């Protein structure tokens, strides 16, 4: 097709068509809260969530066009295309609905570069995994969007094998969901805030367990994690008179220590403290306890902290007793025993 002969309007319509083509109907409907009752190669059926009925096949979406109908209340009469559906379900205007669909497909119709990238993706779908950066587009890192993502959190982190975290804990850390990356993997969202509480990035966890190892957690593109300690904005309020902060490697360890009543815990989101993170600690704490993972990089991270910090702050490096268990793998009682004697 010769795109040069298109007018601006036709060009836009063509891009919208490509955007719609890129949407995975099942995944989108699940995100919008539909309880899918049947999915064939041609269409998806579900109770209609637009009017809230429970007839299992009243709502149908065509998998090719992504157009939909509601057979019981004719909800589609106000707009039967997928953009209208997103506008109504998420209460967005047209522009934001297009942006939302862009974010879950990785296809931004206003960005010529992403458009070209998308075309390449369609042409060579099988190699995209190796040619594209493993980061999330920076769009949607706002309080408003986070609020919308909150209702889409899955039960991934509640499952025993993924940590068995209670919903109150996941709520406390604002864990959200509904992010579909450009490979089609659905992800839960862990919001990351600066020391002052400003929302600065998301780390998104693949909940399908299908993403390759390096793609399990994706960070927002452009986020400088070297200058942020996860949860410091809350932890600093629990540092107590001794101004003690506990540093672990990952998000789940922070949540587990929180459950063990160590709410003064932060994560360096890696296996060593960077210079920027050490400076954050110097300005917040008198005492720092490190509790890194017991693997080789964690031990190296601990030794590095000792080397860099020992004359600058009261540093207490802790080592975990089992080589194959991260802090999140211990019971609350065990953690209280390991850390409690120091605190
Ligand atoms: Zn309906």
The pLDDT tens digits along the chain (343 residues) read 444 445 677 778 888 888 898 898 998 998 898 999 998 888 999 999 999 988 998 999 999 889 999 999 999 988 899 999 999 998 889 989 998 898 888 777 776 666 666 656 555 443 333 334 567 777 789 999 999 899 889 999 999 999 999 999 999 999 999 888 877 788 999 999 999 999 999 999 999 887 777 788 889 988 989 999 999 999 999 999 999 999 999 999 999 999 999 999 999 999 999 999 999 999 999 999 999 999 889 999 999 999 999 899 999 999 998 888 999 999 999 999 999 865 5
Beta carbons of 195 and 245 less than 8 angstroms apart: no
- Residue 191, helix vs strand vs coil: strand
Cα of 97 vs centre of ligand 1, distance in Å, is: 19
Is the four-CA dihedral 30, 33, 38, 44 of positive or negative sign?
negative
- Residue 318, helix vs strand vs coil: strand
Cα of 82 vs centre of ligand 1, distance in Å, is: 14
- Residue 236, helix vs strand vs coil: helix
Cα of 13 vs centre of ligand 1, distance in Å, is: 27
Cα of 35 vs centre of ligand 1, distance in Å, is: 13
Cα of 85 vs centre of ligand 1, distance in Å, is: 11
């Amino acid at each position: 097709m010769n795109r040069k002969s298109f007018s601006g309007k036709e060009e836009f319509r063509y891009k919208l068509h490509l955007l719609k083509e890129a949407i995975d109907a099942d995944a989108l409907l699940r995100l919008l809260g539909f309880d899918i009752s049947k999915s064939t190669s041609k269409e998806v059926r579900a109770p209609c969530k637009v009017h809230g009925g429970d007839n299992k096949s009243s709502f149908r979406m065509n998998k090719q066009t992504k157009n939909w109908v509601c057979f019981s209340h004719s909800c589609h009469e106000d707009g039967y295309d997928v953009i209208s559906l997103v506008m109504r379900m998420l209460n967005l205007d047209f522009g934001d609905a297009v942006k939302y669909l862009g974010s879950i497909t990785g296809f931004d119709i206003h960005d010529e570069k992403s458009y070209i990238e998308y075309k390449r993706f369609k042409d060579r779908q099988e190699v995209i995994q190796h040619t594209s950066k493993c980061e999330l587009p920076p769009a949607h890192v706002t309080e408003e969007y986070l609020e919308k993502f909150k209702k889409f959190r899955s039960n991934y982190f509640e499952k025993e094998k993924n940590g068995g975290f209670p919903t109150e804990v996941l709520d406390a850390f604002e864990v959200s969901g509904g992010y579909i990356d450009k490979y089609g993997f659905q992800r839960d969202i862990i919001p990351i805030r600066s020391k002052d509480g400003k929302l600065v990035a998301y780390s998104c966890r693949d909940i399908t367990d299908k993403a390759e190892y390096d793609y399990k957690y994706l960070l927002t593109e452009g986020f400088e994690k070297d200058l942020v300690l996860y949860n410091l904005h809350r932890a600093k309020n629990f540092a107590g008179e001794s101004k003690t902060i506990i540093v672990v490697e990952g998000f789940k360890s922070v949540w587990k220590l929180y459950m063990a009543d160590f709410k003064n815990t932060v994560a360096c989101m890696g296996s060593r403290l960077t210079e920027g993170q050490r400076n954050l600690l110097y300005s917040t704490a008198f005492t720092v306890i490190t509790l890194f993972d017991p693997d080789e990089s964690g031990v190296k991270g601990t030794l590095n902290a000792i080397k860099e910090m020992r004359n600058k702050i009261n540093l207490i490096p802790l080592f975990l007793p089992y080589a194959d268990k991260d802090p999140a793998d211990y019971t609350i009682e065990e953690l209280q025993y390991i850390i409690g004697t120091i605190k």
